[in-house]
Amino acid sequence: MSAAALAQEIDAAMSQIAEAPMRYPVAEYGTMRLVLPRFPFSIFYRVGNTEIVIVAVAHHKRRPGYWQQRSETG
């Protein structure tokens, strides 16, 4: 599979999140998680009052929670 296919899958996933952000399960650090069906990646995001913030596109083999500090609000 190519980088272009991965980018296309991420774009499609982001559209799905935008259409129904509460559809996906709650994950760690106060985020929601969508698992990509064809690639070993998950999209972690946070739903705000007026926006959806993509916190990380995380590879499943990478150290879990490496992106945690990105999800902290200050």
Q: Domain containing 44 — which CATH number?
A: 3.30.2310.20
pLDDT value, residue 71: 53
Q: Does pLDDT of 74 surpass 50?
A: no
Instruction: Report how far residue 72's alpha carbon sits from residue 57's, in angstroms, rounded to the nearest whole number.
Output: 16
Instruction: Report how far residue 30's alpha carbon sits from residue 64's, in angstroms, rounded to the nearest whole number.
Output: 15
Locate 59 and state its tokens: 């590879």
The total number of structural domains in the chain stands at 1
> Which string of DSSP letters, residue by residue, matches 4-60?
HHHHHHHHHHHHHHHH-GGGSPB-GGG-EEEE-SSSSEEEEEEE-SS-EEEEEEEET
**pLDDT tens-place string over residues 31-68:** 999 999 999 999 999 999 999 999 989 888 766 655 66
pLDDT level of residue 69 (50, 70, 90 thresholds): low
- Within 10 angstroms of residue 58's Cβ, the number of other Cβ atoms is 19
Q: Domain containing 24: what range?
A: 3-71
pLDDT value, residue 5: 94
pLDDT value, residue 59: 87
